[in-house]
Structure 1
Amino acid sequence: MTAGYLTHPAHGGHPFAAVLATVILATVAGANYGYVRGRRGLGTALRLLEDRHPGTLDRVGTRPRTATFAAQCTGCLRTLFPRVAAGARVPYRRFAVTNLAAACTWGAGLLLAGHLAGTALDRVRTVSSLVGLPLLLAALAGCVLCRCLRRRRSQRVSNRPL
């Protein structure tokens, strides 16, 4: 978003296309580096994630495109997800293509928001950071709800008379 701020004429007017290309290139390079590191082995944090939430890697492997795109738009997940995808054995080509599309969407959106914000960058940053947390909480609530429903369904099946 700060890079978009710098493309505003009042703050230097750097070429929008050049800044956009730099943002996308940096995002894609960082994610690909994370993927390669993940192929070398899961780190402590990811092992802890899998220990506490068994099946996480399996769930990522079943919907890699959706997970990759969603992770790109969430701050903390954008950093950790490439390693998770590698650990889930998501094919590199599928990860790379989806990550490129997500990086273009994410980069262009934030760059445009920063450019349009102009002098109100601090206000836009605050609002955009506040939106990410509720989205993450809603996703977690959905996961908890699905888990509870599955548990309830399995209890009903096990309690049926033969």
Structure 2
Amino acid sequence: MNDLRTFLHGLPAFERFNERQLDNLLAQLRLKDFEPGHRIVVQDSQGPALYIIVSGTVEVTRHETIGGEEQEAYDARDGEVIGLLSLVSNMPSPETCTAKTKVVAAELTPERYHALYLLAPAVGHQLQYMVAVQLARDLQQKNKALRKGLAQLKPASLLERLFG
């Protein structure tokens, strides 16, 4: 666990926390292994947990339900967080996260998050902030997709037809 403590303390999201706060976080985390091809989080389903990738690569994909577009996939690697919205009750994941390689991740279930929040409120607040940022990002993407979908539905104005 000392290696995990050092790893977490080196991440920007957790670097400001003292030893006691990190101990409380570590007490709530469980290391999990995932084989290549395993779907860790599935889009439009409630995620099982938040995962901090300790080692390995996870492919993150998102199929936009409005307009049916696939967004460009990206890889999440060591130190990145996936499944963040699983900490919010009844919040389906906006993306699918699939292990590309063997992945080791520190898992924080919603139940353990609530316990952590009571033991180390500052860490809980940091995670809440991360959720808020993720929700804002997702809202911006939905808004962009809606605008694009509406633009495709409405007929072009005379000016748009003349000047493209």
User: Which TM class, normalised by the smaller chain length?
Assistant: 0.3 to 0.5
Higher relative contact order (CA 8 A, sep 6+): 1
Higher strand share goes to which structure?
Answer: 2
Higher helix share goes to which structure?
Answer: 1
Provide TM-score, normalisation by structure 2.
Answer: 0.37
